[in-house]
Structure 1
């Protein structure tokens, strides 16, 4: 097996992993948990700072098992009951007592979270955890659980900032050097045992979907759409099957279900969006175990490739690129021949359709954005099967699908910087007028 395939497998193993709760508040919870372990005495207060983008994504989303949204409760429960050895599942084993104590700390003003304006990282969280005699500060950057420094009582006891950045740059350089043809060849020909671990993405995200469709979480979008099917207002076609199963998982994810999601590129909603549409179509066509596994590999790897052109966090809703991965997987399952052409045409159409959807932070409304991205993906695939697609004469769309992905990266990285700032400003200042 060639070195390029080996590298793709390594990246899939690091980018498709389980996480309990939205990864932005979980990042701060993890920093708090690590700091509390190093503190060596009961936690009395927490002072946290995060990057503007992490503030945007963490301030309104439910934290699993707490019944509360936001970064304050995440920091508190992470420090009081988080497992610092569990990575993105740091909060999964938090006890009811830790949640109650954390809520009390928040309510009595012992936890603060502010924006770290001066740091050079888009993704950054910092927790300063204080006890009676000591204080520990843990800083995370460039990855949701990537600890770059630990200080105890003002003295450094760990630093990894210099050794990590080169590896990150090398990974992005590798991903940006790929193309859809490379990923398709990998998905079709890699030995099955090398990607067997990806079956877990279906198991984990499908369980989350079933939980969300109970109607007990978030926006209740998936459950509501099923009810509309029963009333005859929605059909039971393939598009509806894809959207309902996918948004069910997103409802549960954003509504605080204490079940993990299998992530993609550091995001649960991206992992859900890259997984569940492919699962729904695989069920629809009664795909064999091998075929559905290869379709999942194609989707997840395409989503990771597309995300490599984006900032870690931005004003660009990355369920779009995740659903481009799903479009690749769905097209591969449905196309009888010339699969790469169908995949490419679908991605071109999505570029012309939904590239303007912004990220205004993680919240219950994410599920309706997941629905929009899924709808775009399914529609683009179905049209591409008949040779209908948005051409390179139109707007941001290029004649080549890889170039479309590059163009979206340019839009997110450069064109939407001011948009990102304005979104956060509006979020921080809304709902303050008297009624």
Structure 2
């Protein structure tokens, strides 16, 4: 299908906007970003930091490692961001933090000067950070997107105010994608776009591969990737293309969730989604000895499919976003294995019939387990699709066409699981208390 250059440019721009570098888990890093911007507006080192966060931000930041600190959680993220973060770096706000700054941040936390609270907000992604020193105060609000600084105030004066009241469950608020975008259009773009328009995706492969190698080399978190590697070496698992893809992807998640200092390329505001949409593709292309064009087009297909599915769900939800990114990877697998668009549709239907409904109970080391399961499911979905087999529309939430299936997954997470999301956080907070 021939598409005009305007459409190609808009899809390429969408990829550039949503596939971006990030250092650390994006929810606590977004809190650090808000704190850094507020401290910059304050013009002095804060003595008190107060963060009011939506349920999903709180859930995803409670148990994850913060890069360069050796510590976990939202308090240290906010403190380091306020003391020494550079908000101009976006999601890499904590890169280059000094030992002296870390010591000052730890002192703020130890002294009870960092307060984290839940904010009842209509938005799944809402961060409000207030910093003060004496009578001087500054407030920053981030909403809808992890880097969207929507409000800045200082000593009662409004410096910036571009807050929105739209509902985050909509496509526009979630990712800025046109509602007419379809999986078929994504396929046509990925197969036909001139390679120079998507060449930047090779940086995605480079960054996420480096983190994968680090996770397989050193001990991080649950060491899911390293454990799989050991099992392969010891003959407990086959040394095949799919297991290597699972191993390499899980290794990257291990490192990232434990606070590895290497940046990753994220997707739709999530580093784990970026890794899951990337590393299975990189691994299979390598093992099949395919050229850079195959890798590039498969990455475009995987990442755009992930963005498309996230647009129905929203950036944060009770559903594990890695399952959607693994669905993107399943589509990439199909292409690398020589399949066409009918097989892509079947792969998506197979993933919906298998792993849809895996909950998100926060960012943490065990995310590597969920990602490993999802990537394995992606391989199974693609291989079944290549044989002409898919879950039928008479089963479960799988619909008669792939777009309706994608919408059903979005409704399941954004509407059907709202109460589940609340209950998950209640369980997490009760446990910590």
> 2:424 — aligned with what?
423
> 1:399 — aligned with what?
400
**Offset at residue 179 of structure 1 (A):** 1.4
Q: What SS class does the counterpart of residue 238 from structure 2 fall into?
A: coil
For residues 176 and 86 of structure 2, the distance between their equivalents in structure 1, rounded to whole angstroms, comes to 33
Contact 1:348-1:399 within 8 A present in 2 as well: no
> 1:81 — aligned with what?
84
Contact 1:352-1:397 within 8 A present in 2 as well: yes
For the aligned residues, what is the CA RMSD? 1.8
For residues 165 and 346 of structure 2, the distance between their equivalents in structure 1, rounded to whole angstroms, comes to 40
Contact 1:16-1:263 within 8 A present in 2 as well: yes
> 1:145 — aligned with what?
147
Establish whether residue 216 from structure 1 lines up as the match of residue 219 from structure 2.
yes
Structure 1 residues 203-255: Cα deviation after superposition (integer angstroms, max 9, x where no partner): 00000000111232121100111111121111101121110000111001101
> 2:241 — aligned with what?
238
**Offset at residue 24 of structure 1 (A):** 0.2
Distance 1:431 1:152, change over 3 A: closer
Which residue, out of 267, 271, 284, partners 2:270? 267
Q: 1:225-304 alignment to 2 at 5 Å? A: 225-304=228-307
Structure 1 window deviating more from structure 2 (15-24 vs 4-13): it is 4-13
**Offset at residue 165 of structure 1 (A):** 8.8
> 1:67 — aligned with what?
70
**Offset at residue 402 of structure 1 (A):** 2.0
Contact 2:125-2:316 within 8 A present in 1 as well: yes
Establish whether residue 132 from structure 1 lines up as the match of residue 134 from structure 2.
yes
Gaps of 5+ in 1: none
Structure 1 residues 99-133: Cα deviation after superposition (integer angstroms, max 9, x where no partner): 1111111111010110111x332101111111134
Contact 1:247-1:371 within 8 A present in 2 as well: yes
Gaps of 5+ in 2: none
For residues 394 and 171 of structure 2, the distance between their equivalents in structure 1, rounded to whole angstroms, comes to 35
> 1:385 — aligned with what?
386
Q: 1:3-402 alignment to 2 at 5 Å? A: 3-117=6-120, 119-162=121-164, 169=172, 174-335=177-338, 337=339, 339-402=340-403
For residues 77 and 85 of structure 1, the distance between their equivalents in structure 2, rounded to whole angstroms, comes to 15
**Offset at residue 172 of structure 1 (A):** 5.0
Scaled by the length of structure 1, the TM-score of the pair is 0.95
For residues 140 and 421 of structure 1, the distance between their equivalents in structure 2, rounded to whole angstroms, comes to 21
**Offset at residue 273 of structure 1 (A):** 0.4
Contact 1:76-1:106 within 8 A present in 2 as well: yes
Q: What SS class does the counterpart of residue 228 from structure 1 fall into?
A: helix
Contact 1:76-1:111 within 8 A present in 2 as well: yes
**Offset at residue 170 of structure 1 (A):** 7.5
Scaled by the length of structure 2, the TM-score of the pair is 0.96
Structure 1 window deviating more from structure 2 (86-95 vs 126-135): it is 126-135
**Offset at residue 271 of structure 1 (A):** 0.2
For residues 21 and 128 of structure 1, the distance between their equivalents in structure 2, rounded to whole angstroms, comes to 22
**Offset at residue 398 of structure 1 (A):** 1.6
For residues 321 and 375 of structure 2, the distance between their equivalents in structure 1, rounded to whole angstroms, comes to 12
Distance 1:170 1:366, change over 3 A: closer
For residues 173 and 80 of structure 1, the distance between their equivalents in structure 2, rounded to whole angstroms, comes to 33
**Offset at residue 41 of structure 1 (A):** 1.7
Contact 2:352-2:405 within 8 A present in 1 as well: yes
**Offset at residue 164 of structure 1 (A):** 9.5
Q: What SS class does the counterpart of residue 331 from structure 1 fall into?
A: helix
Contact 1:83-1:94 within 8 A present in 2 as well: no
Distance 1:175 1:273, change over 3 A: farther
Contact 2:48-2:132 within 8 A present in 1 as well: yes
Stretches of 4+ aligned residues off by more than 3 angstroms: 162-168, 170-176
Structure 1 residues 244-287: Cα deviation after superposition (integer angstroms, max 9, x where no partner): 00011100110110010100010000000000011111112211
**Offset at residue 396 of structure 1 (A):** 0.8
Distance 1:114 1:163, change over 3 A: closer
Distance 1:170 1:35, change over 3 A: closer
For residues 292 and 361 of structure 1, the distance between their equivalents in structure 2, rounded to whole angstroms, comes to 31
Q: How many aligned residue pairs are there?
A: 429
**Offset at residue 137 of structure 1 (A):** 0.6
